[in-house]
Structure 1
Amino acid sequence: MNTRVLITGASSGLGAGMAKAFAARGCDLVLTARRLELLEKVKTEIEQQSPGRRVLMHQLDVTDHDAVFEVFAKSAAEMGGLDRIIVNAGIGKGGRIGGGRFAANRDTALTNFVAGIAQCEAAMELFYRQGTGHLVVMSSVTAGRGLPGPMNVYAATKAALAHLAEGIRSDVRAKQVPIKVSTIRPGYIESEMQDRTGKRHPLLVEASAGAASLVRAIEHEVKDACVPWWPWTFFELVLRIAPDSLVKSIL
């Protein structure tokens, strides 16, 4: 049986890149996102590039928590089960705390973390019923410390997701069930979110190479890893210990 993978936020960026890479490796897919027209484009591209793969799609706003549970359950029924669920949907808008951007910061927290809890809950309920599965939580290399300005709330949500995944991993270990939980910390990889920053980081990784690295790490069922390993493991370490005066230049 082919591995059955559900990816949220799959209409663009890292989600779309991972979907194409998983399909090329022989996986069947469930793709979800808010923007149905972009999701349909990704589905068409996968079917052209990887004929024979089964690709289902569902329009889903992950901040609609009831819909998360409904779509995950429906997808499992359609696929005869799900082997891997990737909690990927997220946004990166925000502003300096005290700068009048509360609404943007709130939306980032609700989408990245609160909706992340809903996705993890729905995934783990399914995996506990199945007795098996692989939960993948997409954090970030920026999660290692509090960051200034518009990165503040975004980095905080990614740190919260990493802690959430670690706690779930502890629960699974205590229950001694064959469920895997991975925390993936992508570095700066070409994507729609990166494009919106208006900046190009000197260490930015090309989109297809970044997606391939993410999929390799996920298929190895790593517990917690920066991806690609180089240079982002080193980058995260430096970011953790760098003095505040250097943080902006590192970012």
Structure 2
Amino acid sequence: MTSAPARPFALVTGASSGMGAAFARALAARGYDLCLTARRLDRLERLAEDLAAAHGIEAFAVAADLGAFEAEGPILAAIAARGRRVDLLVNNAGFSIPQSFAATPWLRQRDFLMTLVVAPCALAHAVIPGMVERGHGRIINVASLAGFAPGAAGHSLYPGAKSLMIKFSQALDAEYRAKGLSVTAVCPGFTRTEFAQANATQHLMDEAPRLFWQSAETVVETALRANDLGRVVVIPGWHNRLAAALLQHLPQGLVAAAVRRGSAKYHLGD
């Protein structure tokens, strides 16, 4: 008598709320076992329990601050201790800093880079060899429409970090597609999550026209479908695709001026 094949296994970062929690719910519905990681262990454990009960999958939580040095180590150790290997990695954890660059303590800026750049690259570096060995694997990097935009006052490192995630995804696709990996950068615009609450810009975001907002669930489904199809860069929503096209193809001086005017209200100054 042979045992049933193991369910696929996914690691989702920033899974305690917003898009990360939406990824966890969507993947559980697809039959994935899950490792959920973020800083808020209580939220993670409740979500893991709910998903296990609703979908008959295994889900467990690992509290981690991805801004810490080598934060990926305990996460990967917890997965290995359960005898699992990552089939799908969702690099979702992130935040932004609306204040001016030098007005923000360097440790906070460093935590930003560790969370949005170093940790995603470290996790991908750790799981890719096993994916290549098995001949299949998936990586979804949550980038942003901001990755196509020039820098502006406030959120100083955010466009650069998200642009790196786009280029990183393209590079991984070029290196590993033939070895069975599907890599996607999803680039959402305004999305209904707790993101703006965390950086104290919710009152400003609330002024944006409702037409331009999408739900986290819509963004997640778009990302998963794109990854299924092997699409490397996906921009959810026609309005965001139009904005990305304008950002890339209009004269850059005009784009920079427009972005500076439009983003000024989201800059909380010094």
TM class by shorter-chain length? 0.7 to 0.9
> 1:220 & 1:157 partners in 2: Cα distance?
25
What are structure 1's unaligned runs of at least 5 residues? none
Amino acid at match of 1:136: I
Separation in structure 2 between the aligned mates of residue 76 and residue 223 of structure 1, nearest angstrom: 28
1:44 alignment counterpart: 49
State the Cα distance separating 1:246 from its structure 2 match: 2.1
Corresponding position of 1:26: 31
Q: What do the CA deviations read for 1:157-201 (whole angstroms, capped 9, x no partner)?
A: 11112222222222225xx31122211112221111133422133
Match of 2:11 in 1: 6
Tell me, yes or no, if structure 1 residue 210 matches structure 2 residue 219: yes
Match of 2:258 in 1: 246
Q: Does 1:184 pair with 2:186?
A: yes
- Tell whether the 8 Å contact from 2:150 to 2:259 is kept in structure 1 after alignment: no
Residue equivalent to 1:146: 150
Unpaired stretches in structure 2, ≥5 consecutive residues: 264-270
Q: Which amino acid aligns with 1:245?
A: A
Query: Larger Cα Rg: Structure 1 or Structure 2?
Result: 2
Q: State the alpha-carbon separation in 1 of the partners of residues 76 and 230 from structure 2.
A: 21
Alpha-carbon separation, structure 1, partners of 2:218 and 2:78: 32
CA displacement 1:39-87 (0-9 Å, x = unmatched): 1122233235x23122122112223454414422542562643211111
Give the SS at the match of 1:86: strand
Change in CA separation of 1:180 and 1:76 when aligned onto 2, cut-off 3 Å: farther
Equivalent runs, 1:43-82 vs 2, <5 Å:
43-48=48-53, 50-76=54-80, 78=82, 80-82=84-86
Q: How many Å apart are 1:114 and its aligned residue? A: 1.8
CA positional deviation for 1:126: 3.1
* Residue pairs, 1:48-197, within 5 angstroms: 48=53, 50-76=54-80, 78=82, 80-98=84-102, 100-103=103-106, 104-173=108-177, 176-196=178-198, 197=201
Report the number of matched residues: 246
Query: Structure 2: how far apart are the matches of 1:128 and 1:31?
Result: 23
> In the alignment, is the contact (CA less than 8 A) between 1:76 and 1:82 conserved in 2?
no
- The 10-residue stretch of structure 1 (9-18 or 206-215) with the greater mean CA deviation from structure 2: 206-215
Maintained 8 Å contact 1:109/1:154: no
Query: Any idea what SS the aligned residue of 1:148 has?
Result: coil
Contact 2:91 2:141 in 1 (8 A): yes
| More deviation, 214-223/20-29 | 214-223
- Structure 2 CA distance for partners of 1:148 and 1:76, relative to 1, 3 Å: same
| Counterpart-to-counterpart distance in 2, 1:154 and 1:123 | 25
1:230 aligns with 2:238: yes
Residue identity opposite 1:218 in structure 2: N
Contact 2:12 2:91 in 1 (8 A): yes
Q: Give how far 1:204 is off.
A: 1.2
Q: Deviations over 1:225-246 (max 9, x none)?
A: 11x2422211222233353332
**How many angstroms does 1:153 deviate by?**
0.8
Query: Are the equivalent residues in 2 in contact too, given 1:8–1:88 (CA < 8 A)?
Result: yes
Q: TM-score, normalised by structure 2?
A: 0.80
C-alpha separation in 2, matches of 1:65 and 1:126? 23
Counterpart position of 1:220: 229
TM-score by structure 1 length?
Answer: 0.86
Runs of 4+ in 1 over 4 A off after TM superposition: 248-251
